Structure 1
């Protein structure tokens, strides 16, 4: 069983039930399943084959759901990409991921036109029409012969399409994560990885056909993919698709559709809590709030729960585990500040540097084993071998377990910065800064931020005394996604180093703590 075939079974069981609402327009499970089948058939008629790599450059919309599930039904491998990435970031993933077909909003057509000379492997651009875009009508474009509209591909397809056999160990998704080496790594998730985690999360959170799940986390992010998209659809629930998070819209959706589940990162909860017009009555239908992506401050958790009379369950996951490994249980006491207990079929344990389990209450590295653990990193055998050892995924996060089997993250991966739930690795930002001709040295750390949890701060040594903070930030914006771009720049005469010349980020962090 896989996600696409299970959705087909759900559509046969509850054909007339709404699968989702988007811009207040419903679509039933039968309609969604039919569109997925026709899109898969249309892809096949374009020449897309089982095993081909399909890139998704889309935000939250039916296009994403149909595009992903349609490609999976064909047996293709899907690579979701953040559409706000810069051309450099998008180009790297498309080339490294051997993408041959790109599905994107028509707003991105000018970007594709500029980039296509550097993307020799891309054979098809499937454009999703928006009111703001220009569709595929411009015959002057040099990539016009490779363009097809999303609706054209659906129209090409047939409901009689017979999906090819897909093995559970075939790669279904490649999720690119920021790498400590400065280049993203593609975590290969199989059909078994995705299906098992969606199924187990759904069971653990008691998802059912009566649930209405607010889907505002970005669909290209693994948190949303499993918790707000795959698990609800496996359970026959209804998605309330929100294209872009705003407190006003969340309160509206929750009230209008009597939403039962909301999932978000701590930053979202903070914005909801601070929203002056937020009426607790609008959220009274929620049976469950889920938080992940970053640790939620206990003070915020308690304040939110007191104001809105709901319980927030924190969990833990990572892209390499599809992603969920822990959640606070619904049928046993929730522990504030904990990431909860191991979900069904998944093992978590805390080990020392030798891989030996440490006693209860002691800290060590959190490692994970289960059917959700990735196949490996795409085209990176050495990184795979270093991360998966004896069947265990080494997360790099420091944790401890208490006597009740609840886990606590005591320290994040070394040097990792989490901005609004998104991971930022300093090395990736530093690589960009080092390419600036007037920057001699750079070091990047995370500093506390009241809205995003953390902000990116760069320490810079320049050979030009006239170089300004604004100029450095402007340069970084050209090469990095917004959440990765430094918002603070401090110029130094030299960076702190150890005796071997290694830059000491730790010293910079200590300086921030003292200030």
Structure 2
């Protein structure tokens, strides 16, 4: 079992269950699984094969979910990268990670135009359109493809290759505080086991609605707020950017049951005067990670 096959299994069991919510739009498990198969097929049509490396330069969005699972279904190795890294940091990871393709926000189109010729292994640039990109009038060069076109070109009945437990699924790069970032390789078994164990320990099930506002390119959000709920029929509430006002509103309106954050987020929420405990009345669990929680904040929150 792996993330891709388990999601397909959940989609077969709960096709009409809400898989994610994003800025007023919902997607069912049946719809998500179909999109993943189509995107995976579209990547295959472009020449991406099992074992190839695909970088993700995307914030929290459906693009990230479909791009991640679509690549995994194909047997490609995914390299999630912080989209606000500097050009030198991005270039280094793409070269060090042997990326054959990259899926990136349209705001990064100028960056990839500048990088032409500097990344000999990079064959494909797939661009995700955003409202901000449209406002800035960013157009797509001929050599780049849109995420939407790749998705539309795919076959919903696409069957990916058989995946081995110890095949590398994801390469997560360290922050590089003491030198150049280093890639940590995680296998399909690593990702699935982590998601399964976390879900079992926290008793995550199809009734849970998990706020995903931590960055999806980081292992904390990837495991706790994305993979764990999706493996168990829960709903992921995708929040692109953290703000106390937004979290209080979304938690109340979407009846969230789980929130995961770092201590700084909890401090901002505690200090925010525009929210109330009633906004969090449906939360059954708050998870903190990244650093230790100050005792005073833990008690007061």
Structure-2 residue corresponding to 1:185: 182
CA contact 2:109–2:138 (8 Å) conserved in 1: no
Structure-1 residue corresponding to 2:193: 196
Q: Report the 3-state secondary structure (helix = DSSP H, G, I; strand = E; otherwise coil) of the residue aligned with 2:117.
A: helix
Which of the pair has the greater relative contact order for Cα pairs under 8 Å at 6+ separation?
2
Structure-1 residue corresponding to 2:68: 68
Instruction: Specify every segment of 5 or more residues in structure 1 that has no aligned partner in the other structure, as ranges.
Output: 305-515
Structure-1 residue corresponding to 2:27: 27
Q: Report the 3-state secondary structure (helix = DSSP H, G, I; strand = E; otherwise coil) of the residue aligned with 2:157.
A: coil
The more displaced of 173-182 and 55-64 is: 173-182
- Structure with the larger strand share: 1
CA contact 1:57–1:102 (8 Å) conserved in 2: yes
Per-residue deviation, residues 111-164 of structure 1 (Å, max 9, x unmatched): 11111221111100000011221599847x4xx32x100010011100121110
CA contact 2:107–2:138 (8 Å) conserved in 1: no
Q: CA deviation at 1:278?
A: 1.2
Structure-1 residue corresponding to 2:56: 56
Structure-2 residue corresponding to 1:206: 203
Structure-1 residue corresponding to 2:150: 153
Q: CA deviation at 1:178?
A: 2.7
CA contact 1:175–1:187 (8 Å) conserved in 2: yes
TM-score norm. by structure 2 comes to 0.97
Structure-1 residue corresponding to 2:11: 11
Q: Is 1:219 aligned with 2:216?
A: yes
Aligned residues: 300
Q: Is 1:287 aligned with 2:263?
A: no
Instruction: Specify every segment of 5 or more residues in structure 2 that has no aligned partner in the other structure, as ranges.
Output: none
Q: How does 1:87-486 map to 2 (within 5 A)?
A: 87-134=87-134, 138=139, 141=141, 144-145=142-143, 147-179=144-176, 181-304=178-301
- d(CA) in 2 for partners of 1:23 and 1:149? 21
Q: CA deviation at 1:188?
A: 0.3
Moved over 2 A (4+): 134-139, 178-181
CA contact 1:136–1:148 (8 Å) conserved in 2: no
Structure-2 residue corresponding to 1:39: 39
Q: Report the 3-state secondary structure (helix = DSSP H, G, I; strand = E; otherwise coil) of the residue aligned with 1:195.
A: helix
Q: Is 1:82 aligned with 2:89?
A: no
Per-residue deviation, residues 56-91 of structure 1 (Å, max 9, x unmatched): 000000000000000000000000000000000000
Q: Report the 3-state secondary structure (helix = DSSP H, G, I; strand = E; otherwise coil) of the residue aligned with 2:160.
A: coil
- Structure with the larger helix share: 2
Per-residue deviation, residues 319-357 of structure 1 (Å, max 9, x unmatched): xxxxxxxxxxxxxxxxxxxxxxxxxxxxxxxxxxxxxxx
- d(CA) in 2 for partners of 1:132 and 1:258? 29
Structure-2 residue corresponding to 1:468: none
CA contact 1:56–1:103 (8 Å) conserved in 2: yes
How large is the RMSD of aligned CA atoms in angstroms? 1.3
Q: CA deviation at 1:179?
A: 3.7
CA contact 1:266–1:291 (8 Å) conserved in 2: yes
Structure-2 residue corresponding to 1:392: none
- d(CA) in 2 for partners of 1:136 and 1:72? 32
Q: Report the 3-state secondary structure (helix = DSSP H, G, I; strand = E; otherwise coil) of the residue aligned with 1:100.
A: strand
